[in-house]
Structure 1
């Protein structure tokens, strides 16, 4: 079978939509006919890496589709079943992290759109164990961003560990930020949104942000308005945002890092120690948490703000993402 897919040809290459030969699903694999796939900043991150584990590689890890065919020994799925493709591919199922339901930390994991071909393709062959069930009543274009952006935002709020009435600052009001805001408001947190874009700040205000602040001096502003925040979550790949987020924290506050930017950052060590600051990294979540994210969407508590595109528009969409022009999440519809 020949299909169209968004392919990264090599490290630091240019992503292009091209024809790809797809074989039959092997043992333990499933052929999925894709309905929609969202874009993530991780796609840009992968495209900019100096080395790749696999090349060429099809990008995409926010995929929604239906099972088209089963490989040998696949029993957990049936043709027509509605499934999702996330960043998490296969894991060892034996390490301490897999045994405790934290497969995202498995040192032997594979990942869609990085070490496995991803979901920005008309059809995809996927390890059956890596698929997740998608509720039938969620539209594909709204469910797709939840497979990464929603899941990641939910996990970041868990790491913040706040209670109703406490204050959180969300740095970056993009694909993750707009979902994190809705989730935080649903929990009864007081939310400040921080971004450089006035258009995005207007969206944040309309979605329930108590404060919407331009990013340049956000730390100082949050100290003035709130006396500092209980947690600051950095959802954007910006070193400057990390700096402002740290400045925004009250004593004993928590800094949650999500957006991947520089590999190193100079932590203000003295303030971290004497103010009792906690710094946490946050990466995806548990399978149960992903189910909870879908539950929030089904209840109407959250809804992804999406812009739909054709697969052929992939290079242009990635460039718009690079320039920070996307409001919400961009989604390919097949």
Structure 2
């Protein structure tokens, strides 16, 4: 089957080529991919700024339908629409796995970086990774379940946003939009900050009730700042914007060493937290928010591309075009792209 494969260093090491469909052994399931979201992490993998093991099929924000299972015990999954956790395997015995924090396992092997991911027609992964999606959910919106689980990991485990908080979100990309919606659902007054070029993205955030701005906010009045851009400049603004005794949450990935005024953490007595990927708990929270319609996903999907256009799509992500572009392998009648 055709797939987008990272075969070597740099963006030129990302190619579309044929790969074999993996065998569906007991405990595994084959998912016919409906779509896989393009994530900033995919850009980091392309530029060797995030760990990977070549050759590997890229893509980890996967949604699709289960078409085969490796054992009769899992037959109930057949035909179900699913989103997929990103871990193919963890050791299950280290102190982090045993505490339910498989995301921190030193031996974790994730889809799209160390095991074949979703930029292909079929992905094979453990049944343990599957999460059933509501039948009413649009076929493309399921790709946002995985980034939403990452956001709930950052904001809810442990909880960092409470009703009445003033919350600043830096970076109006897909992660920033999801973070703003989750914070709003928790009762916070949310402001989303971006650059002049982010006008259309900020318009989307405004539709969901956030105040938006392109002016640096350095007044130190926000109870919580959620840094979602992975930008050094945005992190500096976020540290200036957070109030004394406030909370700083790093959600975006920088992908390289950065210089920020870390003394602000000391001077303001800030609580600094983050969340790496997701856990079973954060997935449960994310799916409950989807089912309760506490988040709106459709307007965040702003385009779709076939496998062969992935290079142009990765460049668009780097430029900040749109919100969430999805890679759609093969033919899927009825799928349409939306625009912000």
Q: What is the TM-score when the length of structure 2 is the normalising length?
A: 0.87
TM-fit CA distance, 1:133: 3.0
- 1:108 equivalenced with 2:104 (yes/no): no
Counting only pairs closer than 5 Å after superposition, residues 1-334 of structure 1 correspond to structure 2 as 3-14=1-12, 15-49=14-48, 53-71=52-70, 75=74, 78-147=77-146, 149-158=147-156, 161-196=160-195, 197-210=198-211, 212-214=212-214, 218-220=216-218, 223=219, 227-304=220-297, 305-306=300-301, 307-326=303-322, 328-334=323-329
Answer with 78-87 or 62-71: which moved more.
Answer: 78-87
Shift of 1:267: 4.7
Q: 1:92, 1:106 within 8 Å by CA — same for their partners in 2?
A: yes
Change (3 A) 1:52 1:274: closer
Distance 1:245 1:229 in 2: 9
State the 1:189 CA deviation.
0.1
TM-score (norm 1): 0.89
Runs of 5+ unmatched residues, structure 1: none
C-alpha change, 1:280 and 1:51, in structure 2 (3 Å) is: closer
The answer to which of 5-14 and 266-275 deviates more is: 266-275
Change (3 A) 1:50 1:274: closer
Deviation at 1:185, TM superposition (A): 1.3
Aligned-partner SS, 1:101: coil
How much has 1:325 moved relative to structure 2?
A: 0.9
Q: Tell me the secondary structure at the aligned position of residue 244 of structure 1.
A: helix
Are the equivalent residues in 2 in contact too, given 1:234–1:258 (CA < 8 A)? Answer: yes
Contact kept? 1:77, 1:128, Cα under 8 Å: no
Q: CA deviation at 1:87?
A: 2.5
Structure 2 residue ranges without an equivalent (≥5): 330-340
Instruction: Please report how far the alpha carbon of residue 242 of structure 1 lies from its aligned counterpart in structure 2 after TM superposition.
Output: 0.7
Q: Secondary structure at the match of 1:301?
A: coil
Q: C-alpha distance in 2, partners of 1:269/1:6?
A: 39
1:272 is paired with a residue whose SS is helix
Q: RMSD over aligned Cα, in angstroms?
A: 2.2
The alpha-carbon distance between structure 1 residues 269 and 32, as it changes in their structure 2 partners (threshold 3 A), is: closer
